Amino acid sequence: MMRSISVADRCGFRVLMRHPAGQAFVERVIARGSADVVTAFSGGLNGLREATDALLHIMGRYGETIDRRAAYSADYQRYLSERQVVAPEIVRAQR
C-alpha cells in the first residue's frame, strides 16, 4: 500500500477505494492529502461506480450523462453497443 501512496502523490486525480479493514490507512491518506476522492464503498460494493460518478461530476458531465442514460439516448445506445464489442481477457497468475 505504501507504494500506492507514492504513485498517488504524483497523479492528477487520486481515488482511494475504501476497504472495511483499512480505516487507519484511510485516515492517514486523507491526512496526507494523497486522495482527491475517498469512496464510501469498496470495489465489490459499487465503489468503482461511485468513483466514476465523482469523476464525471468533477468534469461537469454528471447530469448530462445521467440524463442520457435515463432517456436511453442514441449516444448511450451507441456506447452500450461499443462496450459489448470488447471481449475481456481473463488472465490468471500461477500461484
43: buried, middle or exposed (CB in 10 Å: 19+, 13-18, 0-12)?
middle
Domain that holds residue 72: 2-85
Residue 5 has pLDDT above 80, yes or no: no
Question: How many domains does one find in the chain?
Answer: 1
Residue 29 lies in a domain: yes
Concatenated DSSP letters of 36-50? SEE-SS-GGGTHHHH
Give the pLDDT score at 23. 85
User: What's the average model confidence in pLDDT over 59-72?
Assistant: 94
Residue 26 has pLDDT above 60, yes or no: yes
2: pLDDT confidence band, cut at 50, 70 and 90? low
Residue 71 has pLDDT above 60, yes or no: yes
Beta strand extents in the chain (DSSP E only):
15-16, 37-38
What CA–CA distance (Å, rounded) separates 40 from 16?
A: 10
Give the pLDDT score at 21. 65
Q: What are phi and psi of 16, to 5 degrees?
A: -110, 115
Residue 93 lies in a domain: no
Residue 44 lies in a domain: yes
Q: How many CA atoms lie within 13 A of 2 on its CB side?
A: 0
22: pLDDT confidence band, cut at 50, 70 and 90? confident
Evaluate the CA torsion angle 34, 39, 41, 43 in order and state its sign. Answer: negative
Give the pLDDT score at 1. 54
Residue 91 lies in a domain: no
